Amino acid sequence: MKMKWAFLTIVFTAFSILSGCDLLVLDPKGPQAETQADVIKLSIGIMSVIVVVVFAILIYILVKYRASKQPDDYEPPHIEGNPIVETIIVAVPILIVTFLSIVSVQSNYAVESAPTGYEEKEPLVIYASSSNWKWHFSYPEQDIETVNYLYIPTDRPLEFRLYSYGPITSFWIPQLGGQKYAMADMITTLHLAADVPGEYMGRNANFSGKGFAKNTFNVKAVSQDDFDEWVDEVKETADPITEERFDELLEPGHLGQLTFNGTHLDFMPPPMKHGSSMEEGDHEEMNME
């Protein structure tokens, strides 16, 4: 008795909190995050129904068939099983899983391609590389580089190319979309876009050692004009990045936010998209696919 109320209260409070407040993941600011938030809300809905059904059956049975409510001489029957009942408990989950599979496949293809509504526009390519415990963002188009903060234009698709100078990390801006790994020997691609200007939290989500907790970065989404203005300002004021300077940056530690003219891509090319790192020569091909 106590138990069911305890559970129901907890479940319902949990759901009312979920729907009522602005948790980052459920407060999307871009098309990819929105797709994901929709999938999450839909699955929470379906799953709540399943949970409620199971709870209802359990409570009903516990109330009805408690030994204390039955005559002493009641002897429960021997029931092997029932083909109809068993078909139902197989078929209904299969239907639910099939439906969710379709949603899952569709949404996965959606978040892996150019964001909806942005298909026509040329994406802004940003190389995001991690080193212990910082993020380096290179803008080849603008020929500038930042550390631990991102400036992005709204209304333009973003194509992040991720790799790591060390442990596996995971690039994540919850309000713009889900995460993806950055690894040492291959580039992964993440498609995002920001619909509205604002400041968003970004971080490495994959444990990478001592400084992991503070391995975060700031994302500032601004209009295209403001973005261009920022680029011009950087080009006028920032120091150029050199190989020695970049090697210093790679040393383990936290750095705060830095801005540079030029990118490290010129002297330290990223790993191949589906191959091994450039330093080892490009004669080899990787057969993992």
Partner 1 sequence: MNNDQTQPLEYSTEQNNLNILGFWIFIGAEIMLFATLFASYFLLENRTGGGPAGEEIFTISPVMLETFILLTSSFTIGLGVHAMRLGRQKAMQVFFTVTLLLGLAFIGLEIYEFTHYVHEGAALQTSGFTSILLTTLGTHGAHVTFGLFWGLFILIQIKKRGLTPETTNKSFIFSLYWHFLDVVWIFIFSFVYLKGMM
Partner 2 sequence: MEFFERFAIPHPSPAIYASMVAIGLTVIAIIVGLTYFKKWGYLWREWITTVDHKRIGIMYLISALLMLFRGGVDAIMMRAQLAVPENTLLDSQHYNEIFSTHGVVMIIFMAMPFIIALMNYIVPLQIGARDVAFPRLNALSFWLFFMGAMLFNISFVIGGSPDAGWTSYFPLAGNEFSKSVGTNYYMIAIQIAGLGTLMTGINFIATILKMRAPGMTLMKMPMFTWSALITNIIIVFAFPVLTVALAMGTMDRLFATHFFTTGNGGMDMLWANLFWVWGHPEVYILILPAFGVYSEVIPTFARRNLYGYRSMVWSMVIICLLSFLVWVHHFFTMGQGALVNSIFSITTMAIAVPTGIKIFNWLFTLWKGKIRITTPMLYSLLFIPIFTIGGVTGVMLAMSAADYQYHNTMFLVAHFHLVIIPGVVFAMLAGLTYWWPKMFGFMLNERIGKWAAWLIGIGTCVAFFPMFISGLDGQARRMFTYSEATGFGIWNMIAFFGAIMLAVGFVLIVYNIYYSTRYASRDIPADPWDARSLEWATHSPVPEYNFAITPDVNSRDAFWNHKKNNQKLFKGDYQEIHMPNNSGVPFIMSALFFVFGFAMVFSVWILAIISAIGIFACMGHRSLEKDHGHHLSVDHIKETEEKLGGANS
β-pairing verdict for 188-192 and 158-164: antiparallel
Taking the least distance from each CB to partner 2, the nearer of 54 and 196 is: 54
Is residue 268 within 8 A of residue 243, CB to CB? The reply is: yes
Question: Contacts with partner 2 in 200-239 (CB under 8 A)?
Answer: 201, 203-213
Question: Contacts with partner 2 in 74-93 (CB under 8 A)?
Answer: 74-81, 85-86, 89-90, 93
Size of the site for partner 2 (CB under 8 A): 98
Beta strands of 154-264 (E only): which ranges?
A: 158-164, 169-173, 177-182, 188-192, 198-204, 216-222, 239-240, 258-261
Question: Contacts with partner 2 in 105-164 (CB under 8 A)?
Answer: 105, 107-113, 132, 162
Taking the least distance from each CB to partner 1, the nearer of 105 and 286 is: 286
> Looking at 141-149, 198-206, 231-239, 258-266, which segment touches partner 2 (CB under 8 A)?
198-206
Selected from 16, 19, 97, 223, the binder of partner 2 by CB under 8 A is 97
Is residue 236 within 8 A of residue 260, CB to CB? The reply is: no
Considering CB distances under 5 to 8 angstroms, the limit depending on partner class, which of partner 1, partner 2, none binds residue 285? partner 1
Taking the least distance from each CB to partner 1, the nearer of 166 and 275 is: 275
> Looking at 97-105, 225-233, 238-246, 260-268, which segment touches partner 2 (CB under 8 A)?
97-105
Is residue 15 within 8 A of residue 48, CB to CB? The reply is: yes
Is residue 127 within 8 A of residue 137, CB to CB? The reply is: yes
The residues of the shown chain that bind partner 1, judged by CB under 8 A, are 276, 280-281, 284-288
β-pairing verdict for 149-153 and 158-164: unpaired
Handedness of CA 208, 247, 158, 238 (dihedral sign): positive
> Looking at 114-122, 148-156, 176-184, 224-232, which segment touches partner 2 (CB under 8 A)?
176-184
Selected from 29, 30, 34, 39, the binder of partner 2 by CB under 8 A is 39
CA 144, CA 151: separation in Å to the nearest integer? 11
Give the residues across from 138 on adjacent strands. 127, 145
